Amino acid sequence: MSFRFKAVCDSSASASGEELKKQVVNLGDGSEVVHISRFLPLAESWKWFDYLDKEIPWIRPTIRVYGRSCVQVRKALPGSRFNSVLLNRYKGGGDYVSWHADDEKLYGLTPEIASLSFGCEREFLLRKKKPKAALQGQGKTAAEEPLSKRLKSNTIDQHSFNLKHGSLLVMRGYTQRDWLHSVPKRAKATETRINLTFRLIMQ
């Protein structure tokens, strides 16, 4: 699986011969999102979708982690900074992931999370945490934060990305500390979407 994944990435960059349309969104204060809507070729992406849809024993373990299973990948993606992948399957527009941050300690302070999407296009939202919530993640109180940080910043505090079949979205820097993300319900999204999020778990 890991070898095939790498091969697919390489061929998408060279075989198409066209520049990857890369959108880099600076969220401010050291947080950043990179979005490449045609990261993998469409046909290759459908192969991945079919493989994952059929071969993964999709389960719904509890209501809190609705439709999600976790697979530990060892020695995967040689040379990369990821050692685990989480798989999400959204059967239709009624399946969603509510507002959260992947800010668990096991990912470190500035985790890089790379998300590949297959199948039905869905909206991905980012919303700035309320200042108190962002500070809690660092064990600080508002008073401990420099005045410059407490003044209202003029950056936009909500972003939306349409995650297409074969797209890649990378969250990095302080995005998990300072921002929340979600995939909301969408009545019009009738088809299945599968999403892989690659992460580095600190040993």
Ligand X SMILES: O=C(O)CCC(=O)C(=O)O
Least distance (Å) from ligand X to the CB of residue 195? 4
**The only residue of 32, 102, 121, 123 in contact with ligand X, by rule CB under 6 A:** 102
Q: Tell which positions 90-119 bind Fe ion, by CB under 5 A.
A: 102
Indicate the residue among 102 and 145 with the shorter CB distance to ligand X.
102
How far apart CA 10 and CA 132 sit, in angstroms, is: 42
Structural tokens at position 9: 């990435």
**Cβ 138 vs Cβ 149: under 8 Å:** no
By CB under 6 A, tell whether 101 contacts ligand X: no
Judged by beta carbon distances under 5 to 8 A according to partner kind, the member of Fe ion, ligand X, none in contact with residue 115 is ligand X
Strand partners, 27: none
By CB under 6 A, tell whether 195 contacts ligand X: yes
Write out the binding residues for substrate.
Answer: 103
Write out the binding residues.
Answer: 88, 90, 100, 103, 181, 193, 197, 199
Q: Let me know the angle formed at the C-alpha of 166 by 161 and 172, rounded to the nearest 5 degrees.
A: 50
By CB under 6 A, tell whether 115 contacts ligand X: yes
**Cβ 77 vs Cβ 5: under 8 Å:** yes
By CB under 6 A, tell whether 88 contacts ligand X: yes
By CB under 5 A, tell whether 121 contacts Fe ion: no
How far apart CA 59 and CA 70 sit, in angstroms, is: 10
Contacts of 70 (CB under 8 A, 6+ apart): 84, 86, 87
By CB under 6 A, tell whether 197 contacts ligand X: yes
**Cβ 178 vs Cβ 134: under 8 Å:** yes
Q: With contacts defined by CB under 6 A, how many residues of the chain interact with ligand X?
A: 11
Please report, as a single letter, which amino acid is at residue 178.
D
Positions touching ligand X (CB under 6 A) are: 86, 88, 97, 102, 115, 124, 163, 181, 183, 195, 197
Positions touching Fe ion (CB under 5 A) are: 102
